[in-house]
Chains A and B, each alone.
Chain A
């Protein structure tokens, strides 16, 4: 049994008095101990919703309308608020895009770290302080002892995110969920933070769910990848395999659209149109209006996730030439 097993998760928001729209439309995933999973998608694809739903943190008026989230065999969605608090922030930690969401601006770093620690452990002041310093050193914060008395605004963005990571690690969690942890940071700081997360996950055998829009970052950090589109997973599998030989036309389109591999002055591959809003999804496969390979069948019904790809006409790649070919003949 996997450590974390999410099955057919749906999140719905009310629309009007009697209607609902689904922001997450049946997502499943498994995560083993120490495994690093990347969740990639555009804004509105439902990737943050997935993270919140796993921790049963969907805010009113939204709700998890269907599905289970089993963590070591226990369904988190059935737990009482008190019991789930024992897991949230303790055995499963979260890192958000904006460190200021996690850090309270009027409390010193040390006070906030000790608070988190005391919420989950019975521990003396002295031990707590020593542990906090140790964690700050672990995330390579210079002069860790004196930083305990600093306030969040006295630190730079990069250092703040390091403090957030230190707090996430305080309780020795089994899973870290990181929601766009470096989007607000500069490139060189992003590299520092991601290298740090990667190192810590490897050393401590912590599982990671990394939510991001950046395929480069997942390629660097994760082993497993899930690509989301309009509230569903369209392709999942080993990161390397998807990056090298994507099967879903959307995954392949995203990769081809990246500028790094196109020659200078050449035209980039572009996916036409934009992702439909969840309130107005097209019939059939939600990607078919933008898809180069859509057939009659794609207009009819939505494809299920089979062998890691939700597509009627998945692409296969010829390893010899590296070019994509179709499994079914078109025209």
Chain B
């Protein structure tokens, strides 16, 4: 069996909420609760869920932008979450990120060359400035950016062009693993396909592994190899993309799939009751989805279900799914 490229074991992230310094209560927001995922080389591992489900926090924790309050994170079998900066440097070269908002992810005062050269200079100090230059030019060409863009500032570009630059920045150190956090949701419809195609091409050429974070299941269907559906900081269902669309097991996954507007129509015809996310500060004792679940029973409100394997290979965190 091949070794996973990135693996999390029982990762938990909690954010302390701001309080008055004299107050006794120390409320914490549970952003991630015991998340175990392993991502295989070459995969497009998708994380799906609604806002507040912890999908972004998971990606950020892998890159060290949020430190886990418990659990372990491994990269190619090496534990990275407690590494000091000097040891971690070579790992950082291999792990990069593309952000959601191309209008905020590029420093408005730096031209394209400076933006792209910085990761190379910092993470590959052995390269000469001529080598840095060729590397930047190569990656720009590969991501469909014009070489003449190098001296220009981000505000001169459209959203799609900026996202290409942001992708070029993520790839300039030749990483093996890229976290793409909603990379197309801030873009116009006609641009989304361009960026998705670019990500697919780059994966084929470079053998990249993606952690693709999205709220849009139709993108997952096209793009993903395996999918983790998250709800309130927990993985609810983990399966291959084909299986999850053909045979969703968790009631939440089913709800998400039904909610996708379809060109064929018909999914909004029956009224739906308002569903609310429980408060992530005071988590319910049982299954976090119980309040919205049509199959919920007493056991669900008392006991939090753990991920368990089903015969079709799906892993699901539900007492009753089968």
Q: What residues make up the interface of A, taking CB atoms closer than 8 Å to B? A: 42-43, 140-142, 156, 158-159, 162, 186-192, 194-196, 198-199, 213-217, 219-221, 240, 243, 253-255, 257-260, 262-272, 274-275, 290
**8 A-B residue contacts at CB 8 Å?**
A188-B255, A188-B256, A192-B275, A220-B268, A253-B190, A258-B193, A260-B260, A272-B194
Binds A, one of B64-72, B82-90, B212-220, B308-316: B212-220
Cβ-defined contact, B222 with A259, below 8 A? yes
Cβ-defined contact, B200 with A254, below 8 A? no
Given contacts A187-B256, A274-B188, contact A219 B160 (CB under 8 A): no
Cβ-defined contact, B200 with A219, below 8 A? no
Query: How far is A203 from B272 in the complex, measured between Cα atoms in Å?
Result: 16
Query: How far is A183 from B261 in the complex, measured between Cα atoms in Å?
Result: 13
Cβ-defined contact, B261 with A214, below 8 A? yes
Q: Which residue of B215, B219, B262 contacts A216 across the interface (Cβ within 8 Å)?
A: B262
Q: Which residue of B201, B261, B265 contacts A191 across the interface (Cβ within 8 Å)?
A: B261
Closest B residue to A156 by CB, please name it.
Answer: B276
B272 / chain A contacts, CB cutoff of 8 Å: 191-192, 195-196
Closest B residue to A199 by CB, please name it.
Answer: B271
Query: How far is A29 from B140 in the complex, measured between Cα atoms in Å?
Result: 44
A279 to chain B, nearest CB (A): 13
Cβ-defined contact, A142 with B218, below 8 A? no
Q: Which residue of B189, B266, B276, B277 contacts A257 across the interface (Cβ within 8 Å)?
A: B189
Closest B residue to A162 by CB, please name it.
Answer: B274
Cβ-defined contact, B259 with A260, below 8 A? no
Query: How far is A194 from B260 in the complex, measured between Cα atoms in Å?
Result: 11
Most buried by A among B200, B218, B263, B271: B263
Cβ-defined contact, B188 with A156, below 8 A? no
Interface status of B131 (Cβ within 8 A of chain A): no
Given contacts A188-B50, A220-B262, contact A264 B190 (CB under 8 A): no
Interface status of B298 (Cβ within 8 A of chain A): no
Cβ-defined contact, A195 with B261, below 8 A? no
Cβ-defined contact, A243 with B263, below 8 A? yes
Q: A219-B263, A219-B264, A254-B189 are in contact. List 13 more A-B contacts (CB 8 A).
A: A43-B188, A141-B274, A186-B50, A186-B215, A188-B50, A194-B261, A220-B266, A240-B265, A257-B192, A259-B223, A270-B197, A274-B161, A274-B190
Query: How far is A43 from B268 in the complex, measured between Cα atoms in Å?
Result: 25
Q: Which residue of A156, A191, A268 contacts B268 across the interface (Cβ within 8 Å)?
A: A191
Query: How far is A186 from B50 in the complex, measured between Cα atoms in Å?
Result: 6
Cβ-defined contact, B270 with A262, below 8 A? no
B225 to chain A, nearest CB (A): 8
Closest B residue to A159 by CB, please name it.
Answer: B274
Q: Which residue of B200, B216, B267 contacts A220 across the interface (Cβ within 8 Å)?
A: B267
B177-225 contacts to A, CB under 8 A, are: 188-194, 196-197, 200-201, 215-219, 221-224
B241 / chain A contacts, CB cutoff of 8 Å: 264
Cβ-defined contact, B193 with A255, below 8 A? no
Query: How far is A245 from B271 in the complex, measured between Cα atoms in Å?
Result: 29
Cβ-defined contact, B263 with A216, below 8 A? yes
Given contacts A188-B255, A258-B218, A259-B193, contact A195 B271 (CB under 8 A): yes
User: 5 tightest A-B contacts by CB?
Assistant: A216-B261, A259-B222, A191-B259, A257-B193, A186-B50
Q: Which residue of B191, B200, B274, B277 contacts A142 across the interface (Cβ within 8 Å)?
A: B274
A262 / chain B contacts, CB cutoff of 8 Å: 222
A204 to chain B, nearest CB (A): 14
Query: How far is A162 from B276 in the complex, measured between Cα atoms in Å?
Result: 13
Interface status of B51 (Cβ within 8 A of chain A): yes
Cβ-defined contact, B267 with A268, below 8 A? no
Cβ-defined contact, B274 with A219, below 8 A? no
Query: How far is A240 from B275 in the complex, measured between Cα atoms in Å?
Result: 30
Q: Which residue of B51, B189, B218, B267 contacts A42 across the interface (Cβ within 8 Å)?
A: B189
A162 / chain B contacts, CB cutoff of 8 Å: 274
A137 to chain B, nearest CB (A): 12
Query: How far is A108 from B217 in the complex, measured between Cα atoms in Å?
Result: 37
Cβ-defined contact, B268 with A187, below 8 A? no
Most buried by B among A159, A194, A217, A268: A268
A263 / chain B contacts, CB cutoff of 8 Å: 222
Given contacts A216-B263, A220-B265, A260-B222, contact A187 B190 (CB under 8 A): no
B50 / chain A contacts, CB cutoff of 8 Å: 186-189
Cβ-defined contact, B200 with A265, below 8 A? yes
Cβ-defined contact, B271 with A140, below 8 A? yes
Q: Which residue of B160, B190, B201, B268 contacts A195 across the interface (Cβ within 8 Å)?
A: B268
Given contacts A195-B269, A219-B264, contact A259 B219 (CB under 8 A): yes
Given contacts A188-B255, A195-B268, contact A264 B275 (CB under 8 A): no
B204 to chain A, nearest CB (A): 9
A264 / chain B contacts, CB cutoff of 8 Å: 221-224, 241-242
